[in-house]
Amino acid sequence: MPGILSNLECSNDVPGTIETELWFCSQLIPPNGLGTQHKMPGILSNLECSNDVPGTIETELWFCSQLIPPYAFGTQHKMPGILSNLECSNDVPGTIETELWFCSQLIPPNGLGTQHKMPGILSNLECSNDVPGTIETELWFCSQLIPPYAFGRTTYKMPGILSNLECSNDVPGTIETELWFCSQLIPPNGLGTQHKMPGILSNLECSNDVPGTIETELWFCSQLIPPNGLGTQHKMPGILSNLECSNDVPGTIETELWFCSQLIPPNGLGTQHKMPGILSNLECSNDVPGTIETELWFCSQLIPPNGLGTQHKMPGILSNLECSNDVPGTIETELWFCSQLIPPYAFGTQHKMPGILSNLECSNDVPGTIETELWFCSQLIPPYAFGLTT
């Protein structure tokens, strides 16, 4: 889309080009996506950093930042001579795949939560749980944060590492439970999945505590998420029936957790909810008495009831929005365009609704055009998708 970002002022500015300027001036992300190769010679060839390889492009953006390999998060990178001179305690001279990840002591080279088997690299980590000579366990367990397989998806069975954690729920000699349950945040099988490990959370102290039960305590004591997942229905009577909120329906369970917070319907983010009598008395300028599906979403003026980026066709609700781009009587455009953030279809897709954003005031404004103004005025995201080129 020529003429929009051609006058950007940055050291890598290529006058007249557009696709490259937004990404390369920020020196953050290539135009084809996070972790994909970018092949646009002459743009980043003059980067000044210790790992600069003059004349090359694919490697400079990623390796100068010493953060991410050029292919994808957690995939191996095999470009010898670039990171071989990194200065860190775990540096293995001449190797490349290991240096970027292991010097930061954060992520294994095969992906977040996957096992890494590269002996001799992390064997000398200094932490209370260090098991000399082992590799797979040290990176994850020294941080006492994440199991080596995946975020909360699978259990981890590596005895002797976390068995000496000091917390009120510590079960000496066990491993799977300590990391998760000492933090009292996430069950070991994943966010929103049920956990069945009796005796661990049975002594939680909270108003909704049901002694001897486990699956419900972790989630319901926090009054945030049902035990089956974000936005799924939960059918466990007697736990949330005594919630104190203006929309409380005594004896019901599925609706209380979600509707008392007035944030998310019980069937998922952006899905329709059809439970009459609960949100019908919401007090907001767009309140339509007796209706339910529309009130939760439209009173917040944030998200349509069918999903993020999907069209919503419910006339009469948002037609009286007060914003400079308001088109009286229309609905699909008002919610999104009044915020001047997201097109009505999806993040990064084109929107073709003339007359709405044509009068945006920004240095890159092209009067009369619509697709480009929303994205380019913010100088953040291209109009097609995150990291995709035209």
Identify the burial level of 131 via C-beta atoms within 10 angstroms of its C-beta, where 0-12 means exposed, 13-18 middle and 19 or more buried: middle
- Asked whether residue 171 carries a pLDDT value surpassing 50, the answer given is yes
How far apart CA 146 and CA 138 sit, in angstroms, is 11
Q: What is the DSSP letter of 266?
A: T
Q: Give the pLDDT score at 329.
A: 52
State both tokens at 106.
């954060």
- Asked whether residue 240 carries a pLDDT value surpassing 50, the answer given is no
The domain spans of the chain are 144-222, 229-300, 309-390
The average pLDDT across 327-345 equals 44
Task: Provide the percentage of residues in the chain whose pLDDT is more than 90.
Answer: 0
**Angstrom distances, CA of residue 48 to CA of 41, 51, 53, 61, 104:** 16, 8, 10, 11, 21
Q: Give the pLDDT score at 23.
A: 41
How far apart CA 85 and CA 91 sit, in angstroms, is 8
Q: Give the pLDDT score at 249.
A: 56
State both tokens at 288.
């339509």
Q: Give the pLDDT score at 83.
A: 34
pLDDT in tens, 185-237: 333 333 233 333 333 333 334 455 555 554 454 444 443 333 333 333 333 33
Q: How many CA atoms lie within 13 A of 389 on its CB side?
A: 16
Q: Give the pLDDT score at 56.
A: 54
* pTM for the full predicted model: 0.16
How far apart CA 239 and CA 241 sit, in angstroms, is 6
Closest CA to 231 of 257, 194, 260, 196: 257
9 vs 318, which has greater pLDDT? 9
The average pLDDT across 318-331 equals 46
Please name the residue that has the structure tokens 């490349």. Answer: 96
180 vs 307, which has greater pLDDT? 180
70-96 b/e (C-beta count within 10 Å ≥ 16 → b)? bbeebeebebeebbeebeeebbbeeeb
